[in-house]
């Protein structure tokens, strides 16, 4: 089921992430603990062929070297696995696109599924031009790969308008699937691109929800770098923790997300 998106990175994000995830080798990590931060590998050693299924975010590690009286900045790479929506009998159209590994083109859906045309047009009447531009950019990407970057940034913008009645009732979580599809396509083409901080936070959330649902083992390296990402991306959001904050249900073992 598609859920209402709440505001990303509310004021309790950092404290919740620090409380739940900032651990390495079984011990709590303080961001100025140089030895522990430096011990993190530059990347997690994912095989090259599998890297297309990850969004890769560089994370800065900065520390002070007293004997040289200077700061040193190093980079570690946060690999965020792309989590696609689970197939659902409720959303056969989305299932079909996922099975074919095809971009979910709403303009195409309108033409092929006329019984849903009215619902879709009403749901996206304010953003339909954007959907047309996304459709065109994905098609143009076959001849000019730079168009995929345009499609990606427009799709990020469309995320702000989801969910709609059409996506809840008929289309499913196509927007998450399309974001993942475009990341994989640009990865496979070895293109340089950068997702917005909100999109990265959303990808991290989807990863953590899946890990919790499946009971997968904790990844300390991931959790440390995710915490550092939030510290750098949202430095002024505050440290107060409240249960209603957006990331509360990511790490809480009793979450019912």
89-117 pLDDT per residue, tens:
999 999 999 999 999 999 999 999 999 99
Contact call for residues 55 and 203 (beta carbons, < 8 A): yes
pLDDT at 151: 99
Contact call for residues 183 and 152 (beta carbons, < 8 A): yes
Lowest mean pLDDT segment, chosen from 68-72, 120-124, 128-132:
68-72
More confident residue, 174 or 30: 174
178-225 pLDDT per residue, tens:
999 999 999 999 999 999 999 999 999 999 999 999 999 999 899 989
Q: What is the pTM of this model?
A: 0.80
pLDDT at 257: 30
Cis peptide before 130 (omega within 30 of 0): no
* H runs (alpha helix) in 39-145: 92-99, 106-112, 117-123, 128-140
Using the predicted structure, report yes or no on whether residue 22 has a pLDDT greater than 80: no
Using the predicted structure, report yes or no on whether residue 40 has a pLDDT greater than 90: no
Contact call for residues 196 and 203 (beta carbons, < 8 A): no
């Amino acid at each position: 089921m598609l859920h209402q998106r709440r505001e990303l990175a509310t004021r309790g994000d950092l404290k919740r992430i620090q409380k739940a995830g900032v651990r390495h080798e079984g011990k709590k990590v303080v961001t100025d603990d140089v030895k522990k931060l430096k011990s993190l590998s530059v990347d997690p050693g994912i095989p090259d062929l599998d890297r297309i299924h990850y969004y890769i975010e560089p994370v800065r590690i900065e520390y002070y070297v007293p004997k040289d009286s200077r700061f040193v900045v190093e980079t570690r790479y946060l690999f965020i696995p792309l989590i696609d929506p689970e197939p659902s009998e409720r959303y056969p159209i989305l299932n079909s696109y996922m099975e074919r590994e095809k971009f979910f083109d709403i303009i195409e859906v309108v033409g092929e599924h006329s019984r849903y045309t009215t619902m879709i047009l009403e749901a996206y009447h304010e953003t339909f031009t954007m959907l047309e531009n996304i459709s065109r950019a994905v098609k143009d990407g076959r001849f000019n790969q730079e168009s995929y970057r345009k499609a990606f940034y427009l799709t990020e913008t469309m995320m702000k308008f989801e969910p709609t009645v059409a996506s809840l009732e008929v289309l499913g979580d196509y927007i998450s699937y399309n974001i993942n599809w475009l990341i994989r396509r640009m990865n496979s083409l070895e293109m340089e691109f950068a997702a917005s901080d909100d999109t990265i936070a959303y990808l991290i959330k989807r990863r953590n929800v899946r890990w919790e649902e499946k009971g997968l083992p904790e990844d300390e390296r991931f959790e440390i770098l995710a915490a550092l990402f939030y510290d750098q991306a949202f430095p002024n959001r505050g440290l107060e923790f409240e249960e209603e904050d957006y990331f509360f249900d990511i790490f809480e073992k009793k979450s019912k997300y």
